[in-house]
Each structure stands twice: as C-alpha cells, then as structure tokens.
Amino acid sequence: MLPPPSSSAPAAADFSKGSVKSRLTRQAAELWGYGEADLDGFDPLVNLLLEACAVEFEKIGQELHNTQFRLIERLATLLNPDVVDAPHPAHAVAQARAREAVVVLPDDAQFVFA
C-alpha cells in the first residue's frame, strides 16, 4: 500500500504538470488498490486522461497564483494610496527680506512656512 497523503495542502509552486500527474497517479493507485510497483502498469488511456487533467490543473494553479498576485497588488494600492508614498521634495528655494541691513544666518538656520 502507498503511504497516506499528507493532510497539508500542496504548495502554490507545486502545480507543475509533473507533480500534479504524480499526485493524481498515486491517489488513483491508492483508490484502486494498486501497489507502488504497479504505478507504471496503468492502461495508456488512464495515463493520457491523468496527463490531460494535470495540464488543466497546472493552468488553474497558474491562474490562482496570478489572481492572488493581482489581489495583493490591489489591496496594497487601496491600503497605501499615492498621497502617502508620493515623493516629497527635500529642498526648496526660499526668499526673505531682512529687517536689518546685514544679517548673518547660522548654517543650521531653518525657514518655516507658516
């Protein structure tokens, strides 16, 4: 008998055609009472059907991954609007009129717009 399938769901990157077909073949062998040595002894039509299913499941897995990526991007856009992450200028040009004829400003003087 084959070892029991793990209870955890397969990883998202595990939707390749080969791994899906392998899991389908092992599950079918377990359901039909075949041993691990008999996995290659399936009817060619069964192998063809399992491979066709694996190709379709691979496409579905890729679509799930793409959809998840789009959802995360959309949520990030909604939670972090452009106003928050827009660039802010670090320098500006300021013009001021002095009250005295000569004014000496220290290096750390700051102009504040009020």
Rounded CA separation 30/22 (Å) = 12
**Would you state the pLDDT for residue 64?**
93
**Would you state the pLDDT for residue 84?**
67
**Would you state the pLDDT for residue 11?**
54
Reported as a pLDDT band with limits 50, 70 and 90, residue 76 is confident
Query: Which residues 6+ apart lie within 8 Å of 57 measured at CB?
Result: 15, 20
Question: What are the pLDDT digits (tens) for 10-64?
Answer: 555 588 999 999 999 999 899 988 887 787 778 889 899 999 999 999 999 999 9
Query: Which residues 6+ apart lie within 8 Å of 104 measured at CB?
Result: none
Rounded CA separation 39/29 (Å) = 7
